[in-house]
Structure 1
Amino acid sequence: MGKLIWANNQQYLIQKNVEQVVPFLRNFSLEQVNRVGRFQRTYEKFESTPLRSLDAFASLVGVQSIFVKDESYRFNLNAFKVLGGVYAIGQYAAKKLGRNIDELSFEQLKSLEVRELLGDLTFISTTDGNHGRGVAWAARELGLKARIYMPAGSAEERLQNIKNEGAYAEITTMNYDDTVRYTSQLAKENDWVVIQDTMWEGYEEIPVWIMQGYTTLVKEAALQLEKAPTHVFLQAGVGSFAGAVVAFLQQYYEQKITFVLVEPFVANCYYESFKAGAEQFVTVGGEMQTIMAGLACGEPNPLAWDLLKTYTKVSICCDEEVAATGMRILGNPLATDARIIAGESGAAPVGCFYELMTNEQYTELKDTLQLDENSRVLFINTEGDTDVENYRNIVWHGKYAKI
């Protein structure tokens, strides 16, 4: 059987933590999220992504309903990350022009006049693939430059996808967090603009813009749902995506939602932080090689940490088999359930959920989360088959199968 370990969050709903994050939650109010969506929808090919109801799967595991927001359709880029990159670049351009982004459209930013005013801008970023492709796409669409650096072990297909968007891209010999530090130094030396969804002292504004960009998909899901979810399983990584989801839903619904984080064993900084019961997060290092490449991050985004330590109940970390199981479940649906093509990071929460619902070894975790016949569970498929060869090896040929 696949393996899970989990840690309850000892900082969960502590009042002083709630009071601390209230001001930051305003960045994710419905009014602000509507502003974000307004700009993104000025892109002529913008479309909402589907929300799939997996009724047969829900019946099999004994919950009321299961929904999957499928971001593999986003902007024809096979992942959600472009939402953050395009909004951050738009905000940066608006600020450089001395304009309010509410007064600008994506098409206006593509104009020759605006390009001349912006000058020779180069955006630089670290990525496992999806974020960098989104940044490269946005830069190319706006007639600007992008340089993208990937951690050791990144898939060649993801590298080529970024190059196909017109960016300079290379795979480094470092892990994700060290590559972030490297690109930050390159940006200082060359006067390039870092577009990254983690933050450090002196680099706070752009990561918030990226997190705000992610909220468009969350609002779409909320409008597509008839009832509020009782449980939301979220991929962790540095926590920016999960933090944005939690920040919006926490305000949008007037009921308690149980948020659960999911991480790989080798990059489980939220699990280690929750286990330590710490007010400050714990970092993990090493090579962090995992098929869940989008989650191979060992250092939380500090603002995302503040949000997630306040409102997230449990962090689960899992092995490769669990993520692979999630891919096969979504790609081979029951009865009339829709087929969903999910990559390794996109499917990991579904694999974790299935394991804890069907394996008696995790009854305690299931009870802790109060998952039962009244539960309405939401997942977000953050990526499609962004590494086609690995997807086929897993879904067709049984790589990382349970033994």
Structure 2
Amino acid sequence: MLVANSRAIRSTYPAELQAVLSVEKAEESRQWISAWDGIAEGATPLYSLPGLAHELGVAEVLVKDESVRSELGSFKALGAPIALVRLILRLFPEADFDPVKMFKGAYTEELRDFTVVSATDGNHGKGLAAAARTVGCKCVIVLHANVSVEREQAIAAYGAEIVRIAGNYDESVEEAARLARENNWQVVSDTSYEGYEAIPRDVMQGYGTVAAEIVEACGGKSDGRAPFTHVFLQGGVGGLAAGISSYFWEIFGTHRPTVVVVEPKQADCLYQSAITGQPAKATGSVDSVMAGLACGETSPLAWRFLLTGADFFMTISDDDAVAAMKTLANGDARDIPIISGESGAAGLAGVAVLSGSAENWKGVGLNGNSRILVISTEGATAPQMYKVLVGESAEDVLTRQRAWPNPKAA
């Protein structure tokens, strides 16, 4: 399903939004986290897929590959670590901690009795656990019933204490808040709620690194117009979409790209928010193969940015996401194979779904001159599940990627 956001505007980036998320703060976060050995040096790849662009009938398809951001396998390596460091700076002002040194583990003795807690579908918790291990504090992660054992083990490998509940993601958020109150721990969540906005803001600010790298790879501001006409962003609670779209909005102003937000049909909280104009809850079961997007409630803070900064909201099926995973994994003589997980492929899945409806394709403004950007937000963060869904292992796809271009296929 697709809905146009009648509240979207094209203006210079509003000052009241810039006071919350800004390019300046994003660049500061980028500088700090570059000192962490938990992420790879340099920018992640931005691939052009001319074969897919020809198939879709557009000028270009660009894919930002976040699978190689770090050993964590996703863009979440940029959010939770920055939020953790900024939280510590706020809570311990008298300690005069240096954020760059914190990312190098210089204050582990001072922080050994400090504990953070968070609910997660997988990637956020893994990022927080990895960062906590580096800075030297304790980390407790609350997992809901639908998080796989494979994802649990990946988080526990970073030293986090795991707490399991029988409910869904939103209930795990409530449990994390309860544990924090009872134990005097600090919640580091990527979703906001009443009275809790500073940390989700910092998480979203960390995602600005992805947007900054994309702008740089495309040649900077150039003539002030975005080098891509459309960007398809994953939904979830809205944090990634808000963090990326706000950066582009500040940089390109009235010439910002058209923003399409994509989420599972059974976790349609942002789609419902677009209809009502207010942060809303999902109408479905929330259970989705797209584990990172299986969220039932919109983040009110993220919605502030999407209310006027996102142009369209749409839902896709689990089958659509799996088909997009296979498209990216297959590649061809013109398109490099890309490892993209269930949530990572959602943006491209949205493009594919729209291409099946001439009315929706035209309604979103897509045509032969369109330049589409999608962000593959994760790789095979659950390798066993990836192999089941795609039909080959991530290692096999990586082997073909390293051998590309294949002279025999040319």
TM-score using structure 2 length:
0.89
Residue in 2 that maps onto 1:42: 35
Aligned-residue offset at 1:171:
3.4
Residue type of the alignment partner of 1:197: D
Residue in 2 that maps onto 1:294: 292
Residue in 1 that maps onto 2:6: 10
Matches within 5 A, 1:40-189: 40-44=33-37, 46-47=40-41, 48-98=43-93, 103-107=98-102, 110-111=105-106, 114-189=107-182
Residue in 1 that maps onto 2:273: 273
Q: CA RMSD in A?
A: 2.2
Aligned-residue offset at 1:92:
1.5
> Contact 2:27/2:208 (CA < 8 Å) preserved in 1?
no
| SS of aligned partner of 1:28 | coil
Aligned-residue offset at 1:99:
6.8
| SS of aligned partner of 1:118 | coil
Residue in 2 that maps onto 1:231: 230
> Contact 1:271/1:315 (CA < 8 Å) preserved in 2?
yes
Residue in 1 that maps onto 2:389: 394
Distance 2:378 2:94 in 1: 33
> Contact 1:97/1:118 (CA < 8 Å) preserved in 2?
no
Please list the CA deviations of residues 117-168 of structure 1 after superposition, one character each: whole Å capped at 9, or x if unmatched: 3350111011110000000000111221111112221111110000111111
Asked if 1:241 corresponds to 2:211, the answer is no
How many percent of aligned residue pairs carry the same amino acid? 36
| SS of aligned partner of 2:343 | helix
More helix by share: 1
Quickly say closer, same or farther: Cα 1:43–1:13, change in 2 above 3 A.
Answer: same
Residue type of the alignment partner of 1:162: I
Distance 1:102 1:219 in 2: 26
| SS of aligned partner of 1:338 | coil
Please list the CA deviations of residues 36-95 of structure 1 after superposition, one character each: whole Å capped at 9, or x if unmatched: 111011124542211111111111111111111111011211111121111011111222
Distance 1:64 1:99 in 2: 54
Please list the CA deviations of residues 170-209 of structure 1 after superposition, one character each: whole Å capped at 9, or x if unmatched: 4321111111011111101101110101111221111111
> Contact 1:159/1:171 (CA < 8 Å) preserved in 2?
no
Matches within 5 A, 1:280-319: 280-284=278-282, 287-319=285-317
Matches within 5 A, 1:212-223: 212-223=205-216
Residue in 2 that maps onto 1:253: 252
Residue type of the alignment partner of 1:245: I
Aligned-residue offset at 1:103:
4.5
Residue in 1 that maps onto 2:398: none
Quickly say closer, same or farther: Cα 1:327–1:241, change in 2 above 3 A.
Answer: same
Between 299-308 and 26-35, the greater mean CA deviation after superposition: 26-35
Residue type of the alignment partner of 1:259: V
Asked if 1:199 corresponds to 2:199, the answer is no
Quickly say closer, same or farther: Cα 1:198–1:107, change in 2 above 3 A.
Answer: closer
| SS of aligned partner of 1:87 | helix
Match of 1:336 among 319, 334, 337: 334
Question: Tell me, which stretches of 5 or more residues in structure 1 are unaligned?
Answer: 398-403
Match of 1:365 among 360, 383, 393: 360
Residue type of the alignment partner of 2:144: P
Quickly say closer, same or farther: Cα 1:287–1:190, change in 2 above 3 A.
Answer: farther
Question: Tell me, which stretches of 5 or more residues in structure 2 are unaligned?
Answer: 220-225, 393-410
Aligned-residue offset at 1:285:
5.7
Distance 1:102 1:364 in 2: 55
